Amino acid sequence: MPAVSYSPDSSIANIAPQSFDIRSFRDAVGAEIVGLDLSRPISDQDFARIHRAHLDYHVVVFRDQRITPEQQIAFSRRFGVLQIHVLKQFLLAGHPEILIVSNIIENGQSIGLGDAGKFWHSDLSYKELPSLGSMLHAQELPSEGGDTLFADMHKAWDALPEALRKAVEGRSAAHSYTARYSETKFEGNWRPTLTPEQLAQVAEVVHPIVRTHPETGRKALFVSEGFTTRIVGLPEDESTALLAELYAHSVLPQNIYRHQWQPHDLVFWDNRSLTHLAAGCPSHLRRKLYRTTIQGDAPF
């Protein structure tokens, strides 16, 4: 297994470690981190523990984080370069690194992306350098609904029937941001028409169907109903049928962790290991979260 790598922060070399617990959830997907304060500088020792947990559990939940946008951005940058979302109209003013995920309407306008995650997907798989991971920090939560589901694509690959393995090994698939962009799913939400400039930023890309995690060496399926459009080199009907089998297999109940949000949760997931889905909430209940997205490597 490749060694865990991260970038120590020399500016905080003398910061004392904090006392916190990492508690894995049942069924091995996901863990919560309790007792850590992300508003304080994070020592390299603590960062190494967090990084290891992120690799081991694929999604980690930092409880009760009362942090500012600046602090979220700074912590996210410890993991790598941040990516700026194509929907510039939904970026936090003064902090373009943060995408506002929200169903709130003010003065007749959406303040954020209300239907983010409406289909299973891995963030920014439609880019040449897809996301390493994303952090989502709860600002306002609805009294019901609003859950986020995460599917373990390593487990999906490990349990893939032999016939499906043979059908996809060595093949690639196309990914496009606009694949299902205009399809409505959540009541009361809409998406703005993309400008020619925005469309140029999300041109179709091709990635392997089975990718290798660059830090752990584990294989995972890397297709999703949200962004994958076709399997390269197959007739359309064969491609559609094969993708449907992969989608159904990847989101079996035993592969899924369902996150029920608590106030001030910050959730950090690995887009190289998981796909995720927003379950939605009643349109009259306010929901707002801040998302940062960390750039990853070209899938291989």
Q: Which residue numbers are catalytic? A: 121, 123, 276, 291
The residue to which tokens 């929907």 are assigned: 87
- Contact indicator for 114, 190 with CB cutoff of 8 Å: yes
Per-residue buried b or exposed e for 265-274, using 16+ beta carbons within 10 Å of the residue's own CB = bbbbbbbbbb
> Alpha helices, DSSP H only, in 150-235?
153-158, 162-168, 196-201
Task: Classify strands 21-24 and 31-34 as parallel, antiparallel or unpaired.
Answer: antiparallel
Picking from 119, 239, 92, 112, the residue whose alpha carbon sits closest to that of residue 178 is 119
| Tokens, residue 23 | 């508690």
Distance, in Å, from the CA atom of 220 to the CA atom of 268, rounded to the nearest integer, reads 18
- CA 96-113-292 angle, to 5 degrees, is 40
Residue 114, sorted as left (phi over 0), alpha (psi -120 to 50) or beta, turns out to be: alpha
User: Among 71, 78, 67, 73, which Cα is nearest to 91's?
Assistant: 73
C-alpha span between 293 and 73 (Å, rounded)? 9
